[in-house]
Amino acid sequence: MSYKQILYNTPPTDAINPSLTTTDGTFRLSTIPKPSNVPADKLLVRVHYLSLDPAMRQWLTAKRSYIAPVELGAIMRGQSIAQIITVGSELSSKFKSGDWVVAYSGWTEYALLSAKEVEPFSVPAGGRPTDAMSVLGMTGLTAYFGMTEVGKTKVGDTVVVSGAAGATGSVAGQIARIQGAKRVIGLAGSKDKCEFLVKELGFDAAVNYKDADWKKQLKEATPEYIDVFFDNTGGEILDACLARANRDARFVICGAISQYNTSKPKGPASFMTVISQRVTMKGFIVFDYAKQYASAVQELGSWLAQGKLKRKEHIVPGGIEGAPQALVDLYKGVNTGKMMVEVAPVSEALPSKSKL
């Protein structure tokens, strides 16, 4: 028996080329034999869902960053939701076949991983395995720490979130509301997304940045200026929000998806406002808050259970071969909520202690 992996093939100059069959494709498909036995210190896992994250484009660029770039020829890096199939003899006290884990597997159908490369979780009542990778996982935690620790959102603030219909943005806006923000405004790239933000997530307003008059709409939506801006997009949107910054505003620089697929990024031209309004812009990486993950997941979980926090998933079916195109689509903004590729449906999972 064999299984499929997707390898990093060749560095993109600007946009990712999703073709798996041409030599200039960013990725290529590889088929390898399934291991016949599992080493004593390893776990054999089956991947069910791949996480697609805006940061991935950065991992393909050999620049100084918070993480080393993916090596050419290596499996494309990424988190997944996986299930343990076979447990190596040395690990049998810690893991059981059927356990769900968040795995640092990369883009593969199966993987032999060490104990350090997986994080077990149990699916809470009313929850789904994929929650561990979205609202209760990295994107939820990113929203949580960005809004609380970096943005220091407080009662009465006007909070604007860009990429607001995305995995992190949608959670960030809801957290702002929970923290007592006076107004929560989302920026998103379609009418449907804007409706989702206002009607389903309870944002006070949403602005479609593809509308010709979006800057005017943003101005009207922020009559008392912006106290906290949670930025996932960078570029023109960051610029327009800087122009609306209130005195002592906090700009949480979480991502800059508009700038990832270009070799000629643009910075915020309204930079003068940083001085005149005493703006603090702070970049952060969720990893820095690892010691507080457990308590944050608990709080996010309780909000989810209480209905204060709503999750949204965008699952791309059809197997692992769809991952490169799905990543391209992520940068095009086709998703509302957390984007994942279904490598194998939950219905194919082994029976486990976790509730599905």
Residues that bind a second copy (CB under 8 A): 58, 63-66, 234, 239, 253-256, 259, 264-285, 288
Least separation in angstroms between residue 269's CB and a second copy is 5
SS3 270: helix
C-beta atoms surrounding 223 within 10 Å? 9
Largest CA distance in the chain: 65
Query: What are the tokens at 33?
Result: 């034999």
Give whichever of 17 and 58 is closer to a second copy, judged by the CB atom. 58
Which helix (H) or strand (E) segment holds residue 273: the answer is helix 272-276
Least separation in angstroms between residue 341's CB and a second copy is 25
To 10 degrees, what angle do helices 214-221 and 235-242 make?
Answer: 40
Nearest to 116 by CA among 106, 129, 102, 130: 102
Least separation in angstroms between residue 229's CB and a second copy is 13
Least separation in angstroms between residue 282's CB and a second copy is 5
Give whichever of 66 and 73 is closer to a second copy, judged by the CB atom. 66
Token look-up 């209905």 returns 307
268 and 261 Cβ atoms separated by less than 8 Å? no
To 10 degrees, what angle do helices 293-305 and 167-178 make?
Answer: 80
Least separation in angstroms between residue 244's CB and a second copy is 9
Give whichever of 41 and 248 is closer to a second copy, judged by the CB atom. 248
Give whichever of 86 and 280 is closer to a second copy, judged by the CB atom. 280
Give whichever of 48 and 57 is closer to a second copy, judged by the CB atom. 57
Distance CA 327, CA 17 (A): 10
CA-only gyration radius of the chain, Å:
21
Give whichever of 154 and 266 is closer to a second copy, judged by the CB atom. 266
Least separation in angstroms between residue 260's CB and a second copy is 8
Least separation in angstroms between residue 256's CB and a second copy is 6
Distance CA 172, CA 142 (A): 8
On the CB side of 284, how many CA atoms lie within 13 Å of its CA? 24
Give whichever of 64 and 116 is closer to a second copy, judged by the CB atom. 64
Nearest to 79 by CA among 18, 22, 134: 134
Phi and psi at 184, nearest 5°, equal -120, 120
Distance CA 25, CA 39 (A): 34
Give whichever of 14 and 192 is closer to a second copy, judged by the CB atom. 14
| Residues linked to residue 342 through DSSP beta bridges, in sequence order | 49
Phi and psi at 276, nearest 5°, equal -65, -35
Give whichever of 16 and 304 is closer to a second copy, judged by the CB atom. 16
Least separation in angstroms between residue 288's CB and a second copy is 7
Least separation in angstroms between residue 273's CB and a second copy is 8
